[in-house]
């Protein structure tokens, strides 16, 4: 409440009382903090990380499985599993055989720039059908200065 001082009869004061406005502001702030999600959930993507020491080349092992979708103009794309050519019909049986006795079920899919993404999505579906737990997409290397 505000009081007036000075002579004369008590009267109304034209000062604004901001206490109720601050209370409303704090309540709205708490409501918006509760409503807004704290952790946004997106797609889980597994992206290969660059080596910590670029002078050392990583050893090639049989643990890393890379399925390539290779663009062929005017034809359906070609498919490779770790540099070995396979027709599309043989991808599921071969991947099922590869991942049958593995504890770590990780696969990477690499598609050429000109290939339609629908073919890459089919390879991802084939990987899921072969019980692969984590499927990552490989992107082209970006050179510095471009």
Count how many domains the chain has.
Answer: 1
Question: Is 103 inside a domain boundary?
Answer: yes
Question: Is 17 inside a domain boundary?
Answer: no
CA dihedral sign of residues 90, 80, 105, 98: positive
Range of the domain at 112: 65-138
Q: Where do the DSSP E strands lie in the chain? A: 65-70, 78-81, 84-86, 106-111, 134-138
pLDDT of 26-79, one tens digit each? 999 998 888 876 666 666 666 666 767 666 654 445 578 889 998 888 888 999
Question: Is 130 inside a domain boundary?
Answer: yes
CATH of the domain at 81: 3.30.420.270
99: CB partners within 8 A, 6+ apart = 65, 105, 107, 130, 131, 132
Question: Is 42 inside a domain boundary?
Answer: no
Higher pLDDT among residues 69 and 14, named by residue: 69
Question: Is 55 inside a domain boundary?
Answer: no
DSSP H helices in the chain: 19-35, 91-98, 117-129
């Amino acid at each position: 409440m505000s009081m007036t001082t000075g002579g004369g009869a008590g009267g109304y004061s034209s000062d604004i009382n901001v206490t109720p406005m601050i209370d409303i502001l704090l309540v709205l702030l708490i409501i918006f903090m509760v409503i807004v999600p704290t952790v946004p959930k997106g797609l889980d993507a597994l992206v290969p990380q660059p080596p910590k020491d670029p002078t050392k080349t990583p050893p090639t092992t049989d643990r890393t499985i890379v399925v390539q979708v290779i663009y062929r103009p005017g034809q359906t794309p070609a498919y490779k599993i770790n540099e070995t050519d396979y027709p599309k019909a043989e991808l599921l049986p071969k991947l099922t055989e590869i991942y049958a006795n593995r504890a770590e079920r990780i696969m990477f899919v690499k598609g050429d720039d000109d290939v339609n993404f629908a073919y890459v999505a089919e390879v991802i579906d084939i990987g899921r059908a072969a019980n692969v737990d984590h499927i990552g997409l490989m992107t082209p290397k970006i050179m510095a200065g471009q």
